[in-house]
Amino acid sequence: MISLKMNRLDVKVEDGWTILEAAKFYGLEIPTLCYNEGLSPYGGCRLCLVEVGEGPRAKLVSSCTYPVEEGLVVRTDTRRVIEARKMMIELMLSLAPNSKVIQDLASKFGVKQVRFKIRNEECILCGLCVRMCSEQMDGRAIGFQNRGYKRKISTPFDIRSEECRLCGGCMYICPACQLRCQGPQADTAVCNACLNMDPTCLDHYDDLQCWMYDAGRCGTCIRESPEKSAEKEQTSK
Amino acid sequence: MKATKKIKTIKDLNQTIQSYIQKRKSEKRPVLTVSAGTCGQARGSLKVIASLKKAISKEKLEDKVKIKVTGCHGFCEAEPNIIIQPQDIFYQKVKPKDTSDIASQTIIKNEIIDRLLFSDPISKKTVLKEDDISFYKKQKRILLGDNALIDPTDINDYLSIGGYSSLTKVLSKMAPEEVIEVMKKSGLRGRGGAGFPTGYKWEFTRKAKDTSKYIICNADEGDPGAYMDRSLLEGNPHRVLEGMIIGAYAVGAEEGYIYVRDEYPLAVKHISLAISQAEKMGLLGKKILGTDFNFRIHISKGAGAFVCGEETALIASVEGRVGEPRQRPPFPAMKGLWKKPTNINNVETLANIPLIVEKGADWFSKIGTKGSKGTKIFSLVGKINNTGLVEVPMGITLKEIIFDIGGGIPGEKEFKAVQTGGPSGGCLPKEKLGLPIDYEGLTEAGSIMGSGGMIVLDENTCMVDVAIYFLNFLRDESCGKCLSCREGTQRMWEIVKDISEGKGKEEDIQLLKELAQTTKDASLCGLGQTAANPVLSTLRYFRDEYMAHVRDKTCPAGVCKELITYLIIPDKCTGCLACIKVCPQEAISGELKKVHVLDQEKCIKCGACFEVCQFDAIKIE
Ligand SMILES: Cc1cc2nc3c(=O)[nH]c(=O)nc-3n(C[C@H](O)[C@H](O)[C@H](O)COP(=O)(O)O)c2cc1C
Ligand code: SF4
Ligand code: SF4
Ligand code: FES
């Protein structure tokens, strides 16, 4: 067992746990996004930040990846944590303003404005879909490409992957593009925007982010954007 | 080189070393040393060597002189250079056509060729010897100095300056723990950037319980403009190997990797050669020198991503995975390469090891400041008279490096700032010139030691533009895993770019500060954690310049294109047509000897007219 301090509380947890697991066990709330219990921790969204250490050496770490250590002092609610977390949400919102998950986070943590240029990428590169595909579905259909600001998720060579079995797991788990993926299920879906209006993500990314390259057949609401239909009509003529 | 014989015992090696030391001492012929590192070669040293050989044979001097080809001596400004012993004459910027004069005049008649001597920018005098050049005077070249003495492709030449005697000392007289104690006492800290005490790092790996352990030499050197590690590997590869072998012995590793970027072909060649020579001599392999110590070294080539220099990304890359950093702890000393305890050290760190073993911890710890011992190599570039690699004792001031060693700013321009620490370092202004250089001092001032890049900026530099330059590098080189780093660098770049284009608002400065702080705080690895330095340091010391861009929509240094206009001053224009000829847009019109007119509509602000005008008739507003 490992003894540590969490929010001034002395706690004891199993060796090998992460700070996040310890916090959950003791009922301390830490927001997460790229973390999922069934998948390996990734540490990319930086939402689960906590402050460890004391004095000038105190630093922020992602609790979903940081292992508990003997005598560690952890705080989940310092000003530094709160401010960094808000900035993370603001950045996410600027990339995927239509995401219900991110909107909810924004409202919960009091992020009221986005001061960056909106990019409408409908993806925050949290890597959940990649891990879902490889770890749960045993597929290697999608992965990260490039680094830095050019980083994106795609299939090898950007064409339909033979590995993809059309399971739709990537869409299911995606926190950013669910408006598109929930589909017309009047009683269960959160917004059903697709039934009543045109979700904006469809305009920007008709089938671009459907890794199945099989828009429509999966039964979700994906359909072609008007531009694309027009284009197709043109070429068929 | 003769085929090397396998040496079987420590005693034999000591004897061999002694015999080569004697051989060097008894060398009575004049020695012509030509520097031919990557930098020298780029400036034509290979051609100089070829024509020097011809000139020597033309004068029938083949048996009377010795030509030695070495790595880089550090003084890039003067490459290619030839040093002639025993007189110690220093010829600089030698061209192939100069070599026949060197043979016929200097070697045969012992006459000095004045035109090849170096003219010192500070004293304005020509100097005869390398030691008298102000560039070298304040340096303390415990590492780089030997580059000028040895042929890096010959292990015996390294033996002849006492090389590998530290290894025999360690293997014959010291337990691994004792070696670690010496390193701790010496105060040596990692030269790769983070400055972690080497002795303590070794101890962690030593104490980690596992059957196999690794040692890695980090020669990724991803900072643009930095090349000290390259110059050590090219110019003195055996010293790095010796350091690595001693390190392996101390931490208990039987296998090692040198991670070097593929863009360093000469370094790869020299270190590969050094490894095979050391293997043949029995300094690497099984039962080294008859002891129970086994050690092998492999070379792993990186594709040159900046982030692959970060130790956990480097390990991933050696293992054949994508070079992305991971959470530490567990530190590599506990779980590194193939999940085994692994010690990672920088090239320069390792090059210090044999010296410390040889001369003692006290000798080393006498150099430097309280917290930072020894010397550090900086690559001094930018708006500076003497560019090159400088090795200085820790604690020397920025002013001494820039003005005494670097010879100040060319063209009577004012010094504005110095950027240290590589792309994620910071810019320090004039007021900080008195700062003694050490790890803590630089960090406190808002910059970092990094791996030792030093770029000097003059009055014609816009600090907003500088921030854009580094942010652009970082947003590209971030691995992209952390939202804070990937988007942080991208958004900071966007904001600063807007400011430089006159689209900035006052609130942007506040946003920039907040974002910079979060990028630093929330990111996983050192890249993200330091990525805000270019912004934070320029905001701290040059806030006025930002405000001028934001409030007055002007660029005081006259750099940011969107904020400047080029104007012809009618009184000064002589109507020489020069600017008309260079303007790519045909924006300037006029006749000979009549005042020219610049059409602002057509002007793309390339500045060509400004550069070409001899009469200062074009001004920037
Ligand atoms: C983004 C980044 C790039 C780095 N690049 C290098 C490098 O090129 N060479 C190097 O020796 N260390 C580099 N480091 C530091 C290494 O992670 C590591 O600390 C170092 O190699 C340890 O050796 P030392 O203790 O001898 O300094 C880098 C670190 C970061 C965060
Ligand atoms: S597509 Fe969705 S799940 Fe995949 S990385 Fe982007 S935001 Fe995450
Ligand atoms: S801080 Fe930047 S470079 Fe480092 S792991 Fe995160 S995204 Fe990658
Ligand atoms: S939940 Fe921990 S970094 Fe995303």
Q: How far is CA B165 from the centre of its chain?
A: 27
Question: Quick one: DSSP state of residue B501?
Answer: T
B472 at A interface, C-beta within 8 A: no
Distances (CA, A) of B248 to A37, B167, B186, B253, B317: 40, 11, 18, 5, 21
The answer, yes or no, to whether ipTM is higher than 0.85 is yes
Q: Ligand 2, atom 1: nearest CA belongs to which residue?
A: A123
Which atom of ligand 3 is least distant from the CA of B523?
1
Q: Are both A92 and A142 inside the same structural domain?
A: no
Residue A119 lies in a domain: no
pLDDT of residue B76: 86
A69 touching B, CB under 8 A?
A: yes
Task: State the distance from the centre of ligand 4 to the C-alpha of B316, rounded, in angstroms.
Answer: 21
Residues A21, A98, single domain; the answer is: yes
Is residue B197 located within the same domain as residue B330? Answer: yes
Distance between CA atoms of residues B71 and B230, nearest Å: 10
Residues of B in Cβ contact (< 8 Å) with A43: 326-327, 481-482, 524
Domain presence at residue A31: yes
Determine, for residues B514 and A42 on separate chains, whether the beta-carbon distance falls below 8 Å. Answer: no
CATH number at residue B597: 3.30.70.20
B232, B300, B311, B474: which to mutate for ligand 1, most atoms within 8 A of CB?
A: B311
- CA of A236, closest CA in chain B: separation in Å? 40
Residues from chain A contacting residue B511 (CB–CB below 8 Å): 115
Q: Which atom of ligand 1 is least distant from the CA of B201?
A: 25
- List the single residue in A with minimal CA-CA distance to B475: A148
Indicate yes or no: CB of B481 within 8 angstroms of CB of A43. yes
What residues contact B488, with CB distance under 8 A and at least 6 apart? Answer: A91, B515, B516, B518, B519, B522, B523, B528, B531, B532
Give the Cα separation of B111 and B201 in Å (integer): 54
Integer-rounded Cα radius of gyration of chain B = 27
* Amino acid type, B416: K
If one residue of B478, B519, B520 were mutated to test the ligand 3 pocket, choosing by the most ligand atoms within 8 A of its CB, it would be B478
Statement: residue A221 has pLDDT above 60: no
In this structure, which amino acid lies at residue B197?
A: P
Q: What is the CATH number of the domain that holds A104?
A: 3.10.20.740
> Which of the two residues, A107 and A210, has the higher pLDDT score?
A107
Q: pLDDT of B464-477, one tens digit each?
A: 999 999 999 999 99
All residues at 6 or more sequence positions from B20 whose CB lies less than 8 Å from its CB, including other chains = B156, B157, B159, B160
Find the helix packing angle between B347-359 and B228-235, rounded to 10°.
Answer: 60
Among candidates A67, A117, A149 on the partner chain, residue whose Cβ is nearest the Cβ of B486: A149
Q: Are residues A156 and A191 in the same domain?
A: no
In three-state secondary structure terms, B464 is: helix
Residue A137 lies in a domain: yes
Question: What is the distance in A from the centroid of ligand 1 to the CA of B333?
Answer: 15
Task: Identify whether residues B136 and B178 lie together within a single domain.
Answer: no
Q: Which of A167-181, B385-399, B570-584 has the lowest mean pLDDT?
A: A167-181
Q: Is there a single domain that holds both residue A103 and residue A144?
A: no
Ligand nearest, relative to CA of residue B333: 1
> Nearest C-alpha of chain A: how many angstroms from B484?
7
Q: How does strand A73-75 pair with strand A2-6?
A: parallel
What six digits make up the tokens of A218? Answer: 């999966």
Set of chain B residues whose Cβ sits within 8 Å of the Cβ of A117: 494
Q: Which of B444, B484, B530 to mutate to test the interface with A (most CBs of A within 10 A)?
A: B484
Q: B448 pLDDT band (50/70/90 cuts)?
A: very high
pLDDT bucket at A15, cuts 50 / 70 / 90: very high
| A168: closest CA of chain B, how far (Å) | 24
Whole-number Å distance, alpha carbon A173 to ligand 2 midpoint, is 8
Nearest CB among B475, B491, B521 relative to A80 is that of B521
- For residue B400, report the distance from its CA to the centre of ligand 3, in Å: 35
Residue A101 sits in the same domain as residue A69? yes
Residue B74 Cα, gap to closest chain A Cα (Å): 34
Classify A158 as helix, strand or coil.
Answer: helix
Q: Whose CA is nearest to atom 6 of ligand 2?
A: A123
The residue out of B458, B493, B523 marking a domain boundary is B458
Q: How many domains does chain B have?
A: 5
Cα angle value B98/B34/B300 (rounded, 5°): 140
Q: What's the confidence (pLDDT) of residue B483?
A: 98
C-beta separation of B365 from B238 below 8 A: no
Q: pLDDT-derived band of residue A219, with 50, 70 and 90 as boundaries?
A: very low
Q: Are residues A87 and A175 in the same domain?
A: no
Say whether both A7 and A71 belong to one domain. Answer: yes
Q: Are residues B126 and B98 part of one domain?
A: yes
Interchain CB contact of A93 with B (< 8 Å): no
Largest CA distance in chain A: 73
Exposure b/e, B341-365, CB count within 10 A at least 16 = b: bbbbbbbbbbbbbbbbbeeebeebe
Atom of ligand 1 nearest to the CA of B349: 26
Rounded Cα distance, B542 and B500, in Å: 14
Amino acid at B34: V
Helices (H) and strands (E) in chain B, counts: 26, 19
Facing B482 at nearest CB: one of A44, A80, A146: A44
Q: pLDDT grade, residue B141 (50/70/90)?
A: very high
- The helix (run of H) or strand (run of E) holding residue A9 is strand A9-13
Q: Do B483 and A49 touch (CB under 8 A)?
A: no
Distances (CA, A) of A153 to A130, A146, A147, B309, B525: 8, 9, 11, 24, 22
Edge-to-edge order in the sheet of strand A2-6: A9-13, A2-6, A73-75, A49-52, A59-62
**φ, ψ for residue B374 (rounded to 5)?**
85, -155
In whole angstroms, give the CA distance from residue B10 to residue B168: 6
Give contacts of B522 with chain A, Cβ < 8 Å: 46, 49, 60, 84, 87-88
Q: Which CATH number characterizes residue A174's domain?
A: 3.30.70.20
Give the structural domain span for A42: 2-108
| pLDDT tens-digit map of B529-563 | 999 999 999 999 999 999 999 999 999 999 999 99
How many separate domains does chain A show? 3
**Contact partners, residue A158, CB within 8 Å, separation at least 6:** none
B395 and B426 in a common domain: yes
Judge contact between B445 and B417, C-beta under 8 A. Answer: no
Domain containing residue B500: 463-552
Residue A94, in any domain of the structure: yes
CB B147 within 8 A of CB B140: no
- Are B198 and B304 contained in the same domain? yes
* pLDDT above 70 (res A202): no
User: Residue A121 domain-assigned?
Assistant: no
* Average pLDDT taken over every residue of chain A: 82
Average pLDDT for residues A99-117, to the nearest whole number?
94
Judge: A46–B329 Cβ closer than 8 Å, yes or no.
no
Q: Residue holding tokens 């020489």?
A: B576
Does the CA dihedral B226-B228-B234-B238 come out positive or negative?
negative
B220, B482, B486, B491, best to mutate for ligand 3 pocket (most atoms within 8 Å of CB): B482
Q: Which residues does residue A154 pair with via DSSP β-bridges, in sequence order?
A: A143
- Ligand 2 pocket by C-beta < 6 Å: which residues? A 123-129, 153, 173-177
A166 interfacial to chain B (CB closer than 8 Å): no
Query: Ligand 3 centre and the CA of B537: distance in Å?
Result: 21
> Would you say residue B572 lies in a domain?
yes
Task: Round to whole Å and give the CA distance between A223 and A206.
Answer: 7
In a domain, B154, yes or no: no
Would you place residue A186 in the very low, low, confident or very high pLDDT band (cuts 50, 70, 90)?
A: very low
Around Cβ B132, how many Cβ atoms within 10 Å?
16
Q: Tell me the C-alpha distance between B283 and B268, whole Å.
A: 19
A170 is a domain residue: yes
The domain that holds B252 is classified in CATH as 3.40.50.11540
Mean pLDDT of B570-595: 92
Instruction: Identify which of A45, A92, A103, A125 to mutate to test ligand 2's pocket (most ligand atoms within 8 A of the CB).
Output: A125
Contacts B480 to A, Cβ<8 Å? 125, 144, 146-151
B288 to chain A nearest CA, in Å? 39
Interface contact flag, A69 B305, Cβ < 8 Å: no
Contact B219, B451 (CB under 8 A): no
Task: Please write the tens of the pLDDT for every residue from B64-119.
Answer: 999 999 999 889 888 999 999 888 899 999 999 999 999 999 999 999 999 999 98
A166 shares its domain with A188: no
Helices within B59-113 (DSSP H only): 99-101, 109
Nearest ligand to the CA atom of A44: 4
Residue A76 — left, alpha, or beta (φ > 0 → left; ψ -120 to 50 → alpha)?
A: alpha
**B510 and B432, same domain (yes or no):** no
Is the Cβ of A46 closer than 8 Å to some Cβ of chain B? Answer: yes
Residues A137 and A45 in one domain: no
Please indicate, yes or no, if residue B3 is contained in any of the structural domains: no
Residue A208: how many other CB atoms lie within 10 Å: 16
Determine whether the interchain pair A95/B487 forms a contact, defined as Cβ–Cβ distance below 8 Å.
yes
B361-to-B10, B134, B143, B179, B367 alpha-carbon distances in Å: 23, 29, 16, 10, 10
Record the tokens describing residue B67, joined without a space: 């030509």
| pLDDT tens profile B198-237 | 999 999 999 999 999 999 999 999 888 889 999 999 999 9
Nearest residue of B to residue A95, measured between CA atoms: B487
Token pair for residue A90? Answer: 């603001």
In a domain, B580, yes or no: yes
Q: Considering only CA atoms, which residue is closest to atom 2 of ligand 1?
A: B310
B418 is a domain residue: yes
Q: Are residues A79 and A148 in the same domain?
A: no
CB atoms within 10 A of CB B131: 10
**B127 and B238 in one domain?**
no
On whether both A35 and A75 belong to a single domain, the answer is yes
Phi-psi region of A57 (alpha: psi -120 to 50; beta: other; left: phi over 0): alpha
Which residues in chain A are contacts of B424 at CB distance < 8 A?
A: none
Residues B53 and B108 in one domain: yes
The DSSP element (H or E) to which A6 belongs, if any, is: strand A2-6
Same domain? B221 vs B361: yes
Within an 8 Å CB–CB cutoff, is residue B457 touching chain A? no
Taking the C-alpha atoms of residue A221 and residue A196, their distance in angstroms, rounded to an integer, is 12
Task: Output the residue whose Cα is nearest ligand 1's atom 30.
Answer: B310
Number of Cβ within 10 Å of residue B124's Cβ equals 7
Residue type, B453: G
User: E strands within B304-367?
Assistant: 342-346
Bridge-based pairing of strands B342-346 and B214-219 is: parallel
**pLDDT category, A210, cuts 50, 70, 90?**
low
Q: What is the distance between the alpha carbons of residues B448 and B194, in angstroms, rounded to a whole number?
A: 9
Does B316 lie in the same domain as B302?
Answer: yes
Q: How many CB atoms lie within 10 A of CB A21?
A: 18
Q: Is residue A212 a contact partner of residue A168, using CB atoms and an 8 Å limit?
A: yes
What are residue B343's DSSP bridge partners? B215
Reading the block at residue B350, the tokens are 């390792």
- Subunit contact B478:A149, Cβ cutoff 8 A: yes
DSSP type of residue A132: I
Residues 6+ apart with CB under 8 A from B187: B197, B361, B364, B365, B368, B372, B373, B374
Contact B490 A149 (CB under 8 A): yes
What CATH number is attached to the domain comprising B444?
A: 3.10.20.600
Please identify which residue in the block is written with the tokens 């590169």. Answer: A125
Q: Is the pLDDT of residue A182 over 50?
A: no
Please tell me the distance in Å from B364's CA to the nearest CA on chain A. 29
Helix B347-359 with B165-173: angle, nearest 10 deg: 70
Q: Kindly report the nearest CA distance between residue A151 and chain B, in angstroms.
A: 6
Q: Which two tokens stand for residue B539?
A: 């905001």
Q: Would an 8 Å CB–CB cutoff place B236 in contact with chain A?
A: no
Give me the pLDDT at residue B3, please.
Answer: 57
Query: In the predicted model, what is the mean pLDDT of residues B21-40?
Result: 92
Alpha-carbon distances, residue B188 vs B182, B196, B201, B257, B309 (angstroms): 10, 9, 11, 22, 20
CA distance B264 to B183: 30
| B407 and B482 assigned to the same domain | no
pTM: 0.91
Based on the fold, state whether residues A234 and A219 are members of the same structural domain: yes
**Which atom of ligand 1 lies nearest, measured to the CA of B526?**
31
